[in-house]
Amino acid sequence: MTQNTENRPHIVLVVGSTRPVRVGDQLAAQIAPVLAETTGLEVRTVDLTDLALPLLDEPVMAAATDDYANAHTREWSRIVRDAAAIVFLTPQYNFGYPGGLKNAIDYLYAEWQGKPALIISYGGRGGGAGAAQLRAVLEFIGLRLTDDDVAITLARDAYGPDGRLVDPATALGDTAEIADAGRALGALVSAPAVG
């Protein structure tokens, strides 16, 4: 008998950078197994590049409807709605988080309400400023965030001449902070939403 994994509780790990040359996908491949082990949930990576959402093109504001006009919005809505939790993996660009990630967030509203979430940022200094901006937006739209974000500092020598990480596992380093955050996220998933 084949087990249907489509409806099993799972975490969606959102790769928030859509740049042609980026490292978020490499980091996601290292982070997903740590989160799966510490939460006991399957982790499904959703790369915003693959999702390919255009600049917000819904004719009605998301807060006013869940009857979306576009197939890409309905698919994104389903992905978020079906997830037990969301992990936002975001680089820091110019002291903020990427426009593509903000665009993806703005497509939806009700789907975010009460959703457990974790922010993992990365950059030359860990991405804390970008994470702080993202946290403000996510709290405003009603996600239930872990108390602490994870900040991954990537050294310049971690990058190859192609702009990609030479060794993603080494660049990521010790995963204890991610494991702790995963446990905190798992606790949020298990706790009922209040309000």
107-148 residue pLDDT tens: 999 999 999 999 999 999 999 999 999 999 999 999 999 999
Amino acid letter, residue 78 = R
Cβ neighbours of 93 (radius 10 Å): 16
**Which band of pLDDT confidence, cut at 50, 70 and 90, is reported for residue 6?**
low
Q: H-helix or E-strand containing 178?
A: helix 176-190
Q: Whole-number mean pLDDT of the chain?
A: 95
Of 120, 139, 163, 103, whose CA–CA distance to 34 is shortest? 120
**Which band of pLDDT confidence, cut at 50, 70 and 90, is reported for residue 70?**
very high
**Which band of pLDDT confidence, cut at 50, 70 and 90, is reported for residue 177?**
very high
Give CA 156 to chain center in angstroms: 24
Alpha carbon distance 35, 185 (integer Å): 9
What does the pLDDT look like over 45-63, one tens digit per residue? 999 999 999 999 999 999 9
Alpha carbon distance 121, 157 (integer Å): 19
What residue segments make up the domains of the chain, in order of their start?
10-188
> 83 and 8 in contact (C-beta within 8 Å)?
no
Architecture of domain 10-188 in this structure: 3-Layer(aba) Sandwich (3.40)
> 89 and 16 in contact (C-beta within 8 Å)?
yes
